[in-house]
Amino acid sequence: MIKPSFTEKSLKAAKEGKYTFIVERDMGKRQIAKEIEETFGVPVAAVRTVKTGGEKGRNARGRNFLVMSIKKAIVTLKEGKKIDLFEESKK
């Protein structure tokens, strides 16, 4: 499962050709690259991955909560290629 991540930072990086996706924690870089190439039909140059740790906490009512950890993939495409999904529309 690959899901695009739309944040201010990821949209800014998308203008430089680096696209951010949230992926399953057990996916490897080659699997991620293959999935991107099949889904969007663009050649992948590099894949970087980042794991964010989960959080435990307590809210204002004293209830405990847990935020699960996620894995993000920052995908760099070959020169001149882009994914239209990340393009900002002009108003």
The answer to whether residue 90 sits within a structural domain is: no
pLDDT in tens, the chain (91 residues): 889 988 999 889 988 889 999 999 999 999 999 999 999 899 999 999 999 888 888 989 999 999 889 999 999 998 888 887 776 666 6
Does pTM top 0.85 for this prediction?
no
Strand partners, 58: 64
Q: What CATH number is attached to the domain comprising 58?
A: 3.30.70.330
Residues in the chain: 91
Within 10 angstroms of residue 85's Cβ, the number of other Cβ atoms is: 11
Q: What is the number of domains present in the chain? A: 1
The answer to whether residue 88 sits within a structural domain is: no
